[in-house]
Structure 1
């Protein structure tokens, strides 16, 4: 264990030095070189401030000011997990738990990164960009574990659950799992990811995903973020999609005090597709930021992005979405939409859709809408005998369900639907929404 009493970048850099030679893969020169390169990038960048354009609307000062320590996960954590009905990988405080996971008899490989490191030199760090992204650099110097998924050519892998729990602690732990996913040509996988933790515990969960989708492969990635209300969730996803492949991502941000969902996708071959959709459900005191960067780097590719945000109390939502169409990417079809529903006069949404186009034969559009509950719709429902509070709840649910219904994969849609319904009921929306 490394004691940490300082804050900010110096604390994390000190932890990196204190753990030198004792982290997984320390005997592998290439792993140590990757950690050192990431540490240097983090030393140069530190935590991004609001002077950085990509972080203009999200302030990481609360993260920088918190004293974090190494997770002290015990082996007898009392976790009430439902019986596994499909393959499941469980991580507690960022560390793989074989005793809680069910990964036997698969037609593909799913193993924890700490064990698999000797075989990962070509893959680990192939997509992440620590010199450009500070949180990826932080992850790169302090990752201890993660999930490594390898699906061979032509294999339909079905559904795999990736579950991450934080435990109750009298300290604020920080963990930085690195997850690697590779789908071979014509393969398919549905990954249902859940992140959760104790309501009042403060901790930092800083995962990084590196996802490779080969020719004709398809990955559906459903993400349900329900971290504790005092937690920090800072996630970065890198995905590379080859010709004819599809990466379909839906992220539901419903937890954490401060959350950032950052996704970078490159469409690298003709006919590649990407769908990035999601919802942010924010209660009083929460801040959630979805930032996407979609690189159309090949011709005849298509992309769709739709994100919805519901804000109650004094909450703040952010959406930043950039579509880059390179000169070679003729016949690009790109669409991006951000919609927000304000349930309180104190709620705030910042929306910044962007298009950067260097090709001339393209079809691209973007837009953003911000509004309150429709007074005429409320009147219509009340004229049918529905009480005011219930009428408002019906409209909120309809706004959210529309986003979830767009999810093609039934397993992901089922998980998200229950979470969405539970969220607005827990916020007391069914019993009375604030008048905006």
Structure 2
């Protein structure tokens, strides 16, 4: 995967010790590749610490409040009341569940998976599929130039491994559920790693749920390394709905081979502070990526969406559509960059971000970028921010609809377009329900 010039200048090494948990002797450390990655991550994070706003990539997201916290780990054995799903009531399907970053076999199942699919936790994969771990771990997500990837590597103890063999299609959604419970009077941290490998011609649908049980403060720092083989397709949807005391940080690094497609959708509703980074590298001819999402924040929430689409080969296609709703004193940031390498002729790239501001104190920072080194390309970007249409609001109220209901209808209509970017109907309907729940709470 091509590097993208991310700099750690402006990182604060004084924050490093509080975030580095003692090595706990997990069985994953017996693999040389894991032990080496953890050692490299610890050394790197100890040197640079958390990024600050002096770092250009973090200029709109300040981790000052996070840096003040002393974090600890949780056991992961808390009882769980209810698990989210995109399936209809009574249906079962493949699902891995993690509580405070720890795999819970008692809540997980691999039912319904066809032959040729490996779905397991990270520790089991290290014991039984060490070759797969050695081949893919740390190949796409670099601890060298991203401090939070370094932190994830340093404290890596658990996560998920998914491999879909050549030509295999998984029709049922595979669900990954991450529940943050935490501990009373403490801020707990978890650092799951995901390795997703689709071999040539494979197809899968992956849904992530990130939720909280209770109101304890937690830090979730996720890293996913995704390899999409030739002609393979991965639909990857994520719903982040953690509580208002939590910090959610995520980095997705995807590599797409010739003729492959990586389709990503992220819905951000929860967390006190969240940042979702998506880096999709089109490393083969005729590769495609579709990166989209919706963000809805209020109160003093902060949501950051940072994307890099890297066209490294000819005839690549990328589409990026984000829409956000910001209320009260909340703040959002969108940084989207499309890179077209010199050999990536015939590239077709499109980027759009639209934000709806519901109050005078709501704020959006936007930084769309095109970096083009080829001359036969078609690339565009657009970025807008505005308020609710007073005329439309008046029209609805004139027909007997109260103000809050009318506002909800207009906000829902604004978001409906981006939800249509979700290709799988059951997932789209479930996410529409999440949005409807947020709007109901807003009323």
TM-score, normalised to structure 1, is 0.93
Aligned to 1:165: 179
Alignment of 1:380-419 (within 5 A): 380-419=395-434
User: Within 2, Cα distance between the matches of 1:381 and 1:36?
Assistant: 60
Residue by residue over 1:300-336, the C-alpha shift from the partner in whole angstroms, topping out at 9 and shown as x without a partner, is: 0100001111011110000000000000000000000
- Paired residues of 1:199 and 1:230 also in contact (CA < 8 A): no
1:56 to 36, 39, 59: 59
Report the alpha carbon displacement of residue 84 of structure 1 after superposing the two structures with TM.
5.2
Aligned to 2:353: 338
Aligned to 2:169: 156
Mark the runs of 5 or more structure 1 residues left unpaired by the alignment: 1-6, 429-436
User: Within 1, Cα distance between the matches of 2:305 and 2:80?
Assistant: 33
Q: Against the structure 1 CA distance between its residues 61 and 272, is the aligned structure 2 distance closer, same or farther, given a 3 Å change threshold?
A: same
Alignment of 1:100-179 (within 5 A): 100-104=107-111, 106-107=113-114, 108-118=117-127, 119=130, 120-158=133-171, 159-170=173-184, 171-179=186-194
Aligned to 2:8: none
CA-based RMSD of the aligned residues comes to: 1.4
Residue by residue over 1:12-54, the C-alpha shift from the partner in whole angstroms, topping out at 9 and shown as x without a partner, is: 23x2xx316x133222233211111111221222100000000
Which secondary structure does the structure 2 equivalent of 1:418 belong to?
Answer: helix
User: Within 2, Cα distance between the matches of 1:198 and 1:97?
Assistant: 15
- Paired residues of 1:49 and 1:60 also in contact (CA < 8 A): yes
Which secondary structure does the structure 1 equivalent of 2:51 belong to?
Answer: coil
Residue by residue over 1:238-284, the C-alpha shift from the partner in whole angstroms, topping out at 9 and shown as x without a partner, is: 00000111000000000000000001110011111000000110011
In the alignment, is residue 425 of structure 1 matched against residue 440 of structure 2?
yes
Which secondary structure does the structure 2 equivalent of 1:173 belong to?
Answer: strand
* Bigger mean CA offset, 250-259 vs 31-40: 31-40
- Paired residues of 1:378 and 1:392 also in contact (CA < 8 A): yes
2:259 to 219, 222, 244: 244
TM-score, normalised to structure 2, is 0.92
User: Within 1, Cα distance between the matches of 2:307 and 2:295?
Assistant: 14
User: Within 2, Cα distance between the matches of 1:134 and 1:302?
Assistant: 30
Aligned to 1:92: 99
| Corresponding pairs, count | 417
User: Within 2, Cα distance between the matches of 1:29 and 1:405?
Assistant: 44
User: Within 1, Cα distance between the matches of 2:246 and 2:400?
Assistant: 41
- Paired residues of 1:269 and 1:299 also in contact (CA < 8 A): yes
* Bigger mean CA offset, 22-31 vs 61-70: 22-31
Aligned to 2:310: 295
Hey, which bits of structure 1, 4+ residues long, moved more than 4 A? none
2:226 to 192, 204, 211: 211
Which secondary structure does the structure 1 equivalent of 2:136 belong to?
Answer: coil
2:35 to 7, 32, 39: 32
* Bigger mean CA offset, 179-188 vs 100-109: 100-109
User: Within 2, Cα distance between the matches of 1:222 and 1:410?
Assistant: 12
In the alignment, is residue 200 of structure 1 matched against residue 207 of structure 2?
no
Aligned to 2:15: 8
1:354 to 364, 369, 384: 369
Mark the runs of 5 or more structure 2 residues left unpaired by the alignment: 1-13, 85-89
Which secondary structure does the structure 2 equivalent of 1:216 belong to?
Answer: coil
Aligned to 2:389: 374
Report the alpha carbon displacement of residue 295 of structure 1 after superposing the two structures with TM.
0.4
Which secondary structure does the structure 2 equivalent of 1:206 belong to?
Answer: strand
